[in-house]
Amino acid sequence: MKKLIGWVRQELGFHRNSNYETQYLNETNIRTAVYMSIVVISLEIWMLIRYVDKRPGLKFIEYFDGWTNYLILLSSAVISLTFAIRFRLKENAVERTKSISGIIVGILTLILDILMFIRFVYVRKGMKFSDLFDEAKYLIMLTVLICAYLIFEFFFASVSHRKAAIYGQFLNVIFALICLGFGIETSVYDVSRERQILCFVTMVIYAACLLIWKPYVSIIILSVAFTYFYKDWKPIMKAYDSPYAEKIMEANQINFLTFWIALTMVSISIYQQRLAEAKKDENLVSANARLKKLAVEDELTGISNIYQFVQDAESVMMTSPGSRIYLFINIENFKNYNDQFGYLAGNNFLKKVARIIKKTFDGCPVARQAYDHFVVLTKTEDVEAKIKEVRELIININTDIYIDVKVGSYTPHKEMSESTILTSESSHSEKELKAVGKLIDPRIAIDRARFACSLLKHKYDKHYMEYTSKLDMDFHKRQYIVNNIDNAVEKGYIQVYYQPVVWSESHTLCGCEALARWVDPKYGFLSPADFIPVLEEYRQIHKLDKCIWETVCRDIHNVTESGKHPVPVSLNFSRLDFELMDTVSVLEDLVTRYHVNKKDLHIEITESALTDDMGILQKSMQKLKEDGFSLWLDDFGSGYSSLNVLKDYSFDVLKIDMKFLSSFDSNEKSKIILNMIIDLATNLGMYSLTEGVETQEEADFLARVGCGRLQGYYFGKPMPLEQIIEKINDGTYVIKRLV
Ligand code: C2E
Ligand code: MG
Ligand code: MG
């Protein structure tokens, strides 16, 4: 029962429509008004012509008397049509202004209306005022309609589309009432002359179509119209002088009732149909809006995403480029926050961060670029104070965990001003400086700010870094390295330098370490510090390592071919090599191709590579060991987890980091530590090697405490193959292989 009541309520329209549905229904009614008014206009013109045709020879003013009704209908249809066309042509309310042609139509119909009024009063001279009011009701309604339209033109022409649609509904109602009134009046007149009630039928259909509102409203309007008409029609029918009067009366009543019900049903069904369309349309519109929002908004934090940021930044730089600065904000240690408090808490944290940044840089383009990275385009004034404020607020979100904020910045104009100073060219005009701001692609600007920010990593006392022209050069060098690694490998710019490793007892040569050098036609001699971190960052390091390993194997092969005994060479491996290529098969392949004895290759893996839990690395190391390569642990003691590494992995040689020798003379403790590490290595069944030996005292001490091998500038810097062969040939280095 409850369901049934609910359904009836729904069908009769006793529900609340959404704003969209109301707007849709109002607009469709106005659209219908276009067709309906065109039909009424054509019909009334035809009626006027017919009237003249049937009554030739009348004076114009006499025609005018008979025309009044047609002219009222014609004028109201013209007003209704004018409004509907205006509404549909200018769907965008912002563009809608007063329409001159609309005002002219309004004024002309008003003049016609006034003339009709004057004539009407003149013809009915001496009539009681109340009767006049009753007889002139349609003229009054027409006046209201025209005035309402003119008021709209003069005062509300630029209201919103929604309000204009409501206004249109109001005009429609007046138009429909005029139509209905005429329908009823004409048909009552026709019936008294034993004619059909077709005019009523036509007009009631017009009205029903014009006013598709809530069904219950349509039912009420139609019922009032039908009852009103029936009230006048019934006595006339009853008075018919016909033997069949009774029967005709009954049949007419049944037909009348059926028509009433049918029309009610039609208006309900049209309403429901329009409502369904409105709902479908609304869903589409809201889905579109959602998609549009997703395209420009960061889903998690609700601030702009990077695409929107780029657009906003472009328009800011186009309109007011002066003193603007791009910021790249990175939350340091956010990964640990996530690990400790969970993913959801991490998300909430990022939302708070977004809110802080947005509030501090209010009115500026702000976006989340990815993960815990945010970007801002703001004014240069007070920027450092604002960064400080943001940093403090973010750190204070949760003081239970170490979180820091690092910010890199890039100022388009500054870079140009600096380059002006550097190149001492004539100074650039303000206009030119602005042009730079306009030209810089926001993506590149962000990249530069990000680069400046990346230089703050692990610098615990610095939180802000500006991108300068010096950094610009580094930045370009980095880009160059990444873009040219393939070319460098192909053209032979990558070279291998060999650094001798000696026995501590006799200082005889026990091997060499292969160290990469990039001799570039543009940048000259590049050392690993320039290119290794960049290649690792961009995951290109395997290309370099593969090239170094192959060169080493080829060199060993050539030395062997020349009838000499090669010395073992240690190769540096990056942690990423194990991810980016199948290290085992690459090395196996090289060894086979160049007939290299596996004993002549040592694999150096730096300690920091082993901090992450990487199954793949462990498996590959195991395989290399089983294959007969010896594994060396490089830079032992440089990281935080040195002892763990010793526990979890097994190495043949421990290379002690050169930092232990840096304070050899000044700090007695370093000697104690070195001694302990060497003992530890021996106890764990490993050989030890100390790097960075630069003096005889260091070498003597290390030999005394039992470090088997030494490497460092004291014995020789890294050098090209020819040079080391020369030094072997002239007796500087004496080879002593492990037996
Ligand atoms: P590493 O493997 O620890 O290499 C030793 C570094 O210490 C070399 O620097 C070497 O020139 C330097 N060195 C040797 N003796 C002394 C000394 O007595 N005093 C001082 N101050 N320095 C000394 P280099 O050649 O610049 O290499 C730096 C790092 O770059 C290497 O450290 C290694 O981690 C990496 N690397 C070098 N070549 C390659 C390579 O082919 N592949 C990979 N993946 N990494 C490489
Ligand atoms: Mg090394
Ligand atoms: Mg090392």
Question: What local confidence, expressed as pLDDT, does residue 557 receive?
Answer: 97
Predicted pLDDT at 124: 80
Instruction: Return the pLDDT at 491.
Output: 96
Helix (H) or strand (E) holding 518: strand 509-520
Q: Of 640, 630, 633, 627, which is closest to residue 605 (Cα–Cα)? A: 633
Q: How many CB atoms lie within 10 A of CB 718?
A: 20
> Tokens 């106005």 map to which residue?
30
pLDDT of residue 386: 95
| Residues pairing with 603 in the sheet | 571, 631
Whether 548 lines ligand 1, by a CB cut-off of 6 Å, is: yes
Task: Give the residue, by CA position, lying nearest to ligand 1 atom 23.
Answer: 692
657 CA closest ligand 1 atom index: 3
- The pTM assigned to this predicted structure is 0.57
From the number of C-beta atoms within 10 Å of its C-beta (0-12, 13-18, 19+), residue 389 rates as middle
Taking only the tens place, the pLDDT of each residue in 167-208 is 888 888 888 888 888 888 888 888 777 777 888 888 888 777
Would you state the pLDDT for residue 419? Answer: 42
C-alpha dist (Å) from residue 612 to 13, 64, 187, 576, 641? 66, 100, 94, 11, 10
Structure-block tokens of residue 533: 């971190």
Residue ID of nearest Cα to ligand 1 atom 15: 712
Q: Is the CB of 718 under 6 A from ligand 1?
A: yes
656 ligand 1 Cβ < 6 A: no
Residue closest by Cα to atom 5 of ligand 1: 691
- pLDDT for 550 equals 97
The low-confidence residues of the chain, meaning pLDDT below 50, are 416-428, 430, 433
pLDDT of residue 732: 94
Task: Give pLDDT, residue 569.
Answer: 97
What is the per-residue pLDDT for 422?
35
CA angle 581, 582, 583 (to 5 degrees): 95
Residue nearest to atom 12 of ligand 1 (CA): 692
Q: What is the DSSP letter of 297?
A: B
Task: Give the ligand with the smallest distance to the CA of 501.
Answer: 1
The first and second tokens of residue 218, run together, are 């349509």
270, 545, 712, 733 from 507: Cα distances, Å: 103, 29, 12, 8
